[in-house]
Amino acid sequence: MTAHEKESKIGVYICHCGTNISSVIDVHALAEFAKGLPHVVLAREYKYMCSDPGQDLIKKDIAEHELDRVVVAACSPLLHEATFRKAAEMAGLNPFLVQMANIREQVAWVTDDSSGALQKAEAHVAAAVHRVNEHKPLERRSVAITPRVMIVGGGIAGIEAALTLAEADKEVILVEREPSIGGHMSMFDKTFPTLDCAACILTPKMTAVKDEPKIKLMTYSEVESVDGAVGKYKVRVRRKARYVNEDLCVGCMQCIDACVFRKPKFPNEYDQGLALRKPIYVPFPQAVPPVPVIDPKTCLQLTKGKCKQSCVEACGDRNAIELEQEDTVEQFEVGAIIVATGFKTFDPSVMPYYGYGVLPNVYTSLEIERLVNAAGPTGGKLTLHDGSVPKRVGIVHCVGSRDKNYHAYCSKVCCMYSLKLAHLVKEKTDAEIFNFYIDMRTSGKGFEEFYNRVQNEGVHFIRGKVGEIDSAPSNNGEPSNLMTVKVDDTLLGEIRNIEVDMVILAVALEPQPDVDQVRRMFGMSCSADGFFLEKHPKLAPVNTANDGVFLAGVCQGVKDIPDTVAQASAAAAKAMALIDRGYIELEPNTAEIDEEACSGCKICNNLCPYDAIEYDEEKEVSRVIPELCKGCGTCVAACPAQAITGVHFTNAQIFAEIEGALFDAAPAGV
Amino acid sequence: MSENQKGKLAVYWAASCGGCDINTLGIDTKILDVAAAFDIIMWPCATDGKVRDIEKLSDGEIDLCLFNGGIRTSEQEYMARLLRQKSKVLVAFGSCAIEGCIPGLANMNNRQEIFDTVYKEGSATYPENPDDLRPQHETEMPEGTLYLPVFYDTLKTLAQTVEVDYYLPGCPPEPENIWKALTAVLEGTLPPPGSVIGPNTTVCDECPRTRTEKKIKKFYRTWQIKPDPDVCLLEQGILCNGIATRAGCGALCPQVNSPCIGCHGPNDGVQDYGARMISALASVIDSEDPDEINRIISEGIPDPVGSFYRFSLAGSLLRRKKLHTSHKD
C-alpha cells in the first residue's frame, strides 16, 4: 500500500565515508543489493557523499532520472540529514522525501565482521527504502520569534552575555538569585595567571549592566517556571521581597548605619561567614544594584514585629524601606534563554580526614580568596585564627576532584588558583608554602610560565595525595597551631609528615544543588558529572537539546574565567542568531489530531511536555498547537483511539520500515 | 439487483456463540423487510440450506453474505472460502469474524491443551473420560470411514482467511447497527470496500460521564469499588476500555456502571488494540517510581490478555502465544 498514485523512483546513495564505512562494509555489494529493492531505479556508491561532488551526484540524478525519493546510506542523520535534505531541496525535491540509513555509527563502527556488517547494512538500506516510499512531501511553517533574551545567572558569564546582547541592541532580562550580580568572580582578589585585580576588571561590567537601558536587571529573583517553546518562552520570575524599594533607594547606606543592631552580628554569606553583617546589609561594597537588602530571618521587625525601625527613619522622605513588601511574580515572553547558573564549591567537611570544620586553621580556597581580598573581612590581611601570621602553609590540591568517592572529574582551575594563592600568601606573609599535588595541570595561555614563576619564588611542590591532616602533638603543653600533613610523596617514595600552621583545601567546583530542578525547568539534560549537557560536545557546545536554551559558564562544565567569557559571548551570539532573523521555521513533523476520531477522552492532555495540547470544551476534542509541538510522539503513542498521528512517523511509515528491516526474515508461522 | 428480482442473502456462523444470529433476529419485524428484499438461501441458525446448493451457485451469485465467527476448523475454512467465492459482498459480521473474540482467546493455548481442557479436565465429558477419548479426523467404523473437521491450533479471523469487503463490529452487533448496515446495502450507500461500518471515534464520545485529565493511582476490579455514577470510570481506577473502543453502541455498558470491555474493537488505523490500551494506560499511571508502577499494574491488572485482548487477540499483531510444538493439520 503506497501513499501515492504514481510509481515512485528511488535513488540510493552509499557513502564510503573515506574508509570509515568502506573498510568494513562491501559498499559495492551493498549498492548492488539496493538496486534490487522495490522502486529503486539507481544505486551509487561514492567516497564522500556529504562533499560537494557527492551532493551534486544526487542533484544531477534528481534532474536526469526524475528521482522522486532519495535514500542516503551514510552516517547518523544527526550529522548530515540536513545536508542531504538541502541538496534535494536545491534540486527541486521536497526535503522530506529523503531518508538516511545510518550504516556508519550503527554498523561499520561497531563491528569488524564484514559479512555480518553487510547483512545489517542491507537491512538498514531496505528499511530506509521501504520507509521513504511512504513519505509525503511536507512544508515547514514559520512563526514570529520574540526578540528578547532571558539570562539566568548574573555571574561573569551572565554579565558578559547580557552586555554582548545589549551592545547589539537586543532586549535582555538578567535574573540573579542573590542580592547582587557578580557571582564567584567578585569574591576573588586577583585572577590567574596575570594577577589582574578581579574587582578592577569586573565592577565596570557590573555597573555597565545596571546602566544599560536594554538590560532589565532582576536581582534577588528566581525563575519559577518556563512554558512554551523556542521563539516564545513564557517565563515566570519570582522577585523575592527585598524590603527596600530598588527604584527609590539611592544607595546612601544610611539605613545600614542606623540599624538598631549597632554592630554586625550575623555571618555574611558572601564572605563565607568569615565576616559579620547586620540584618540590613549589602553583601559587598561594590554590589550591583547598590541597594541594601533586609534579611527576614534576622530583622527584628520582620521576625518579632517589634523594632523602632530606625532604618525607616534614616531613609526619611525617600521612603525606600518597605517592610510590608512581599514576593512578586512577573511573567515575561522571551525568544531565547541563556542558562548561566554557575557552580558551588565542594564542601570538604564530608572528608573528616582533612579536618575542615574541626581544625581551626584549615580553610577552603574560597575562604582564603576572601581573606586575601582587600575588600574582604580582614581588609586583605591574612592571619591565623588567633591573629598571628602563618609561617608554614600547605595547599592541598584535588579536594573533591579526581576522587572517585566525590567527583571523578578534574576541576581544571584548582592547579592554577592554588598557584595564585601560593603566590599571594607568600607575598603577604612570606610563609613557607607547600603545594601537595597529584599532577600539575597548567595548560593555558601563560599558565606554564606562571607555574615556573611560582616555583622560582621558592614555593615547594610535593607530588602526592594527602592522606590525613592532624593537629601536631603539643609542644611541651604549649598551645600550638601546628598541624601535620601526612602525604605519600610519590617522587621520594616515602610517607612524609609536613608540619604547617595553615592548610588551604583546593576544593572542587561542582554543580549547583538544585541542578536537577533547573534542568527540568529548562528542558535540558545533565551529563554524568552533573553539569548541564550541551547538544554536542564539539560542534554545539553552547546549545542544548532544547532549541532556544543556551549554556554559558561553569554550569555546563568546569572552566576558568577566560573560557567562561568566551562561552558567554558564544551563547550570546547563538541567541542573537536565533532571535535576530525575526522568525523561526518549525519542523513539520508535529503531531496532528483528527477531530473526528478524537472522543475527548483526555488521556493525552496531561502528557505533553511542551503544553502543546489544548482541549476544546465546546467540541469536546483535543487539539495540537503546532507552534509548541516538538513532535516527540508522546501523545501519539498514548492516544488509545489512534486519533493522533505523528507526521513523518505514521504507522504506514514505521511498519514499512520494519518490513524493510526484516526483508530476509522468514515469515512468522502461526 | 433489479426491483422485481430479489437478491440472495446468506448468513453463516463459524467459531461463534450464536449471539450474532440472535441479534440479527433482534431487528424484529424488519426481518420481514429483509425477507422481502432477499432470498435467504442459507442461514443455519434460522432456515434450512445445504452446502451442496451453495456449491452449485455460480461465482458472485450471492449478493450479500453475513459471516459471523472465526475460523477454527477445516470445515469453517472451507465454508469461508466457498462463501467468499460465491458472494459479491462478504461482511465479517461481529467481533469473532473480525478479530477472533472470545474463541480467539484460546490462541493462548494450542489444540492439545484445548483438548486436554475439554476432554480431560473440563466438565464437557462429565463424569469422566477414562479412556481419554479425543475427536479424531478419521474414524474407521464397520460402515465405513467417518470424518470430522480438523481442529486447528490457531483460530484465525475471517480476513486472515479470505478477502473481506466490510466489517460490522460488536459482540454481538446491536440490532440497530445491523439494520443500518442492511439499509446501506439495500439503498446502495455502503462506504468504500474495506471499511468498518460504524463511526470512527471511541465510546467516550457517546459516554455521558464527565471526564477530566487522567491520573490513575490504583486500578480496581469492578467488585472492589462502588463507582460514582457521573464520573469517568477510568478516572475512578476501573479498567474501562471505552477510550480505545470504537463507538456505535451508545456507551451501553458505562451507562450502567459497567466498564467498556472493548467488543467493538479499535478505531480505523489501529494495528493492535491491546497495545493501544496498554500504551494509553501506561501514560496516565500516576507515579514516577518503577516499583510503585509495578505494584499498581500487578495488583490492579492481574490478567492483561483478558483485559486488553479479550476480543482482539487473534486479529492482533501478536495473534497467539508462540507455538512450541507444531501439528500436522
pLDDT band at B117 (very low <50, low <70, confident <90, very high): confident
Of A109, A118, A106, residue with least CA distance to A45: A118
Is B269–A606 a contact, with Cβ atoms under 8 angstroms apart?
A: no
Helices A52-65 & A77-90 angle (0-180, nearest 10): 50
Nearest to B305 by CA among B16, B113, B108: B108
Q: Are residues B267 and A597, on separate chains, in Cβ contact within 8 Å? A: yes
Burial class (CB in 10 A: 0-12, 13-18, 19+), A288: buried
Whether a cis peptide bond, with omega within 30° of 0, leads into A193 is yes
Percent helix, strand and coil across chain B, each rounded to 5? 35, 15, 45
Nearest CA among B169, B246, B254 for reference residue B207: B254
Instruction: Assess contact for A132 and A69: CB atoms under 8 A.
Output: yes
Q: A279 preceded by cis ω (within 30°)?
A: no
Task: Report the pLDDT value the prediction gives residue B329, as an integer from 0 to 100.
Answer: 44
Residue of B nearest to A642 (CA): B270
Interval A615-639 mean pLDDT:
91
Which of A602, A620, A639 faces B212 most closely, judged by CB atoms?
A: A602
CB A465, CB A439: distance < 8 Å: no
Predicted confidence (pLDDT) at residue B238 exceeds the cutoff of 70: yes
* Cα-based torsion angle of the residue sequence B177, A604, A595, B166 in order, rounded to the nearest 10 degrees: -30
C-alpha to C-alpha distance for A226 and A521, rounded to whole angstroms? 6
> Which pLDDT tens digit goes with each residue over A377-420?
999 999 998 899 999 999 999 999 999 999 999 999 999 999 99
Q: Once rounded to an integer, what is the mean pLDDT over residues A307-326?
A: 94
Mean pLDDT of chain A: 94
How close is the nearest chain A Cα to the Cα of B242, in Å?
9
A602, A642, A670: residue with CB nearest B213: A602
Half-sphere exposure of B263 (CA within 13 A, CB side): 20
CA distance A657 to chain B (A): 15
Please state, in angstroms and rounded to a whole number, the distance separating the CA atoms of residues B101 and B263: 8
Please give the backbone phi and psi of residue A258, each rounded to the nearest 5 degrees, phi first: -80, -10
Listed residue (B286, B262, B288) closest to B275, CA to CA:
B262
pTM: 0.71
Within 13 A of A433's CA, how many CA atoms are on the CB side? 26
In angstroms, the separation between the Cα of residue B12 and the nearest Cα of chain A is 25
Tell whether the model's pLDDT for residue B128 goes beyond 80: no
* Distance spanning both ends of chain B, measured CA to CA: 41
B123 band by pLDDT with thresholds 50, 70 and 90? low
CA distance A40 to A8: 8
One-letter amino acid of A625: I
| pLDDT at B2 (0 to 100) | 46
Q: In B136-228, where do the E strands start and end? A: 138-141, 144-147, 151-156, 166-168
Beta bridge partners of A640: none
Instruction: State residue B286's pLDDT score.
Output: 93
Q: Do A603 and B277 touch (CB under 8 A)?
A: no
Of A606, A607, A641, the CB nearest to B267: A641
Q: What is the mean pLDDT of residues A590-605?
A: 94
pLDDT digits (tens, 9 = 90+) for B268-320: 989 899 999 999 999 999 998 999 999 999 999 999 999 999 999 999 999 99
- As a whole-number percent, the residues of chain A with pLDDT over 70 amount to 97
**In whole angstroms, what is the distance from residue A606 CA to residue A634 CA?**
11
Instruction: Give me the pLDDT at residue A626, please.
Output: 86
Interchain proximity A642–B319, CB inside 8 Å: no
Q: Are A147 and A168 in contact (CB under 8 A)?
A: no
A489 by DSSP, 3-state: which? strand
Confidence check: pLDDT of A657 > 70: yes
List, in order, residues 6 or more apart from A517 with CB less than 8 Å away.
Answer: none
Question: What are the residues of chain B with a beta carbon less than 8 Å away from any beta carbon of chain A?
Answer: 154, 156, 200-205, 211-215, 232, 242-244, 247, 266-271, 276-277, 279-280, 282-284, 319-320, 323, 326
The closest of B168, B155, B91 to B318, measured between CA atoms, is B155
pLDDT at A3 over 90: no
Q: Which domains does chain B have, with CATH numbers?
A: 7-102+153-187 (3.40.50.700), 112-152 (no CATH), 203-308 (no CATH)
Q: Cell match 446495502: residue? A: B185
How far from A126 is each of A30, A31, A272, A414, A566, CA to CA, in Å?
10, 11, 63, 53, 46
Please, which residues have CB within 8 angstroms of residue A304's CB and are 6 or more apart in sequence? none
What stretches of A212-280 show up as alpha helix (H) in DSSP? 254-258
Residue A406 CA to residue A544 CA, distance in Å, equals 26
Coil, helix or strand for B60?
Answer: coil
Q: How far apart, in whole angstroms, are the C-alpha atoms of residue A91 and residue A84?
A: 11
Given this model, what pLDDT does residue A7 score?
A: 85
- Report the distance separating Cα A580 and Cα A573, nearest Å: 10
pLDDT for B34 equals 92
pLDDT-based confidence at B125, cuts 50/70/90? low
The reply to whether omega before B290 is within 30° of 0 (cis) is no
Cβ-defined contact of A596 to B200 (cutoff 8 Å):
yes
Size of interface A-B (CB pairs under 8 A): 85
Name the least confident of A5-9, A347-351, A602-606, B211-215: A5-9
Domains of chain A and any CATH numbers: 10-138 (3.40.50), 147-236+329-337+523-531+551-583 (3.50.50.60), 254-318 (no CATH), 344-510 (3.50.50.60), 587-647 (3.30.70.20)
Quick check: helix, strand or coil at residue A535? Answer: coil
State whether A607 and B283 contact (CB < 8 Å): yes
- Residue A217 scores a pLDDT above 90: yes
In one letter, which amino acid is B83?
L
Max CA separation in chain A (angstroms): 102
The rounded distance, in Å, linking the Cα atoms of A447 and A640 is: 62
Q: What are phi and psi of B307, to 5 degrees?
A: -80, -40
- Candidate from A600, A606, A642 with C-beta closest to B276: A642
Say if residue A289 is preceded by a cis peptide, omega within 30 of 0. yes
Q: Name the band, by pLDDT with cuts 50, 70 and 90, for residue A501.
A: very high
- Is a pLDDT exceeding 60 seen at residue B325? no
Phi, psi of B70 (to 5 degrees): -90, 180
Measured between alpha carbons, how far is B98 from A541 in angstroms, rounded to an integer? 55
Strand partners, B202: B246
Range of lowest pLDDT (A301-310, A425-434, A466-475, B294-303): A466-475
Q: What would the pLDDT profile of A425-443 be if each residue is shown by its tens digit?
A: 999 999 999 999 999 999 9
The β-bridge relationship of strands A221-229 and A232-239 is antiparallel
Reading phi first (left if > 0) and then psi (alpha if -120 to 50, else beta), residue A138 is in beta
> Residue A600 and residue B212: Cβ atoms within 8 Å?
no
Instruction: Name the more confident of A584 and A208.
Output: A208
Residues of B with CB below 8 A from A3's CB?
A: none
Cβ contact B267–A643 (<8 Å): yes
For residue B326, is pLDDT > 70? no
pLDDT-derived band at A2, boundaries 50, 70, 90: very low
Residue A576: predicted pLDDT: 97
Contact state of A596 with B213 under an 8 Å Cβ cutoff: no
Reading the block at residue B163, the C-alpha cell is 478477502
The amino acid at A72:
V
User: What does the angle CA A73 – CA A79 – CA A82 come to, to the nearest 5 degrees?
Assistant: 85
Q: What is the pLDDT of residues B14-45, one digit of tens each?
A: 999 999 999 999 999 999 999 999 999 999 99
Helix intervals (H) in A309-446: 310-315, 365-371, 414-429
Lowest-confidence region among A338-352, A475-489, A528-542, B202-216: A475-489
Which are the contacts of A260, defined by CB distance < 8 A and separation ≥ 6?
Answer: A300, A307, A308, A310
